[in-house]
Amino acid sequence: MVNTILVGGKVCTPDKVFDPGVLVIDNKSIKTVEDQSKFRVPKTATVLDTSGCWILPGFIDIHIHGLLGYDCMGPDLDQVIRKLPEYGVTSFMATTMTRPKEEINSLIPQMASVLSDPPLGARCLGIHVEGPHFSPKRPGMANPEWFSLLTASEIDWLQTIANGLVRMLTFAPEEGTAMDVIPYLIKNNITPVIGHSNASYELTEEAISLGVSQATHTFNAMSPMHHRDPGVVGAVLANTSIIAQLIGDGYHVHPGAMQVLLNAKGISRVCLISDAAPFAGLPSGKYNWGNQDVYIDGKTSRLDDGTLAGSHSLIDTGFRNLIEILGLNISEAIQCASIVPAQSVGIGNIKGQLLPGYNADIVVLDKNYRTLLTIVEGEIVWQAN
């Protein structure tokens, strides 16, 4: 898509909203963003009339397991790539779950195979390994029988079977000698993330000082905050350097707690995620994920005992909730859904913002913040009928 121009919409940059604005795409990049009144549309250009719509940077979901019956962990990753743009997602991290080692040894290479020649759709930024390096005291839906300790040799094995595509790893730093492995993760260009952890406040602070830069689905599957024992949650709230991932579906975290997190961290340190299960978006019913029955009620995804099993919502729902429930303005919500996720994985200089020179990763939303059009690196990958 060369010299395509989006005209008439409300174009949201980090500093202002051009209303009505113009955004010019040149090949894979953004060339120009400015006020419509100052721009003369070339007669030879391809023009898309986006009057009355919101023009935003595409959503970046760094913690998602799948959607619509397709699991990121395995060969269905190709379908995840194709389907995500319908929800405004232009980039994502394909996230694994805890499985027996022989299954991991089979499924991760299949993910790498898909990523060696990905289909048209959302850009997969790499693999996010979530488990099996957890605390048995904070397993979430994961089966503790399959847990293992994090070591340098484990990282080497994971990167070997993933063809070097592991870019993020969630683990409990208090288990075994995991603290010693944090520098090795960073050396191997893997973002260290604390999660499914029962660590103390003090140990979490030490892990952050060693390089842990994010917390997986904050508040969920981690030691809670008590005024005499602040735990992982307390350390995440208190430490300004760590980014807090937030599931914004309204069920994993009460809106009041979401507000506490935003007040404590500020929007520049909160990263919206979906944690969407492979059955996100499907009708109510009984499904199977990782050899466990999962029940969807139209709002949540749960195990038989009521344990939340990923989210039933995609990141666009969380984006709307930030605006409609918490009262963020659209520029603030973009910070959490696009800018912070890009920065958190080291691509904030090319993705997550509508600025000249950045990748043309764009989502066009209607007045109700529903996706109408998704562009990835200058190419239309999804549009509503």
User: DSSP states of 274-299 as a string?
Assistant: --B-TTTTSPSEEEEETTEEEEE-SS
61: its two tokens: 């979901």
- Compute the distance between CA of residue 192 and CA of residue 212 in angstroms, rounded to an integer: 5
**Token match 């060696």: residue?**
116
The H-assigned helical ranges of 162-305 are 178-187, 201-210, 231-238, 255-265
DSSP state of 176: T
- Compute the distance between CA of residue 280 and CA of residue 299 in angstroms, rounded to an integer: 9
Options 78, 275, 316, 361, the catalytic residue: 275
| Cβ atoms of 204 and 232 closer than 8 Å | yes
How far lies 131's CA from each of 13, 325, 364, in Å?
36, 32, 35
Q: Which of 255, 258, 257, 251 is nearest to 300 (CA)?
A: 251
- Compute the distance between CA of residue 88 and CA of residue 84 in angstroms, rounded to an integer: 7
Q: Which of 165, 149, 155, 156 is nearest to 95 (CA)?
A: 165
- Compute the distance between CA of residue 31 and CA of residue 359 in angstroms, rounded to an integer: 10
**DSSP3 helix / strand / coil % (the chain, rounded to 5):** 30, 30, 40
Other residues' Cβ atoms within 10 Å of the Cβ of residue 63: 29
- Compute the distance between CA of residue 63 and CA of residue 55 in angstroms, rounded to an integer: 24
The neighbouring-strand residues paired with 365 are 54, 371
156 classed as catalytic: no
**Token match 């405004």: residue?**
88
266: its two tokens: 């500020």
- Compute the distance between CA of residue 140 and CA of residue 196 in angstroms, rounded to an integer: 7
| Cβ atoms of 303 and 266 closer than 8 Å | no
Q: Which residues are annotated as catalytic?
A: 275
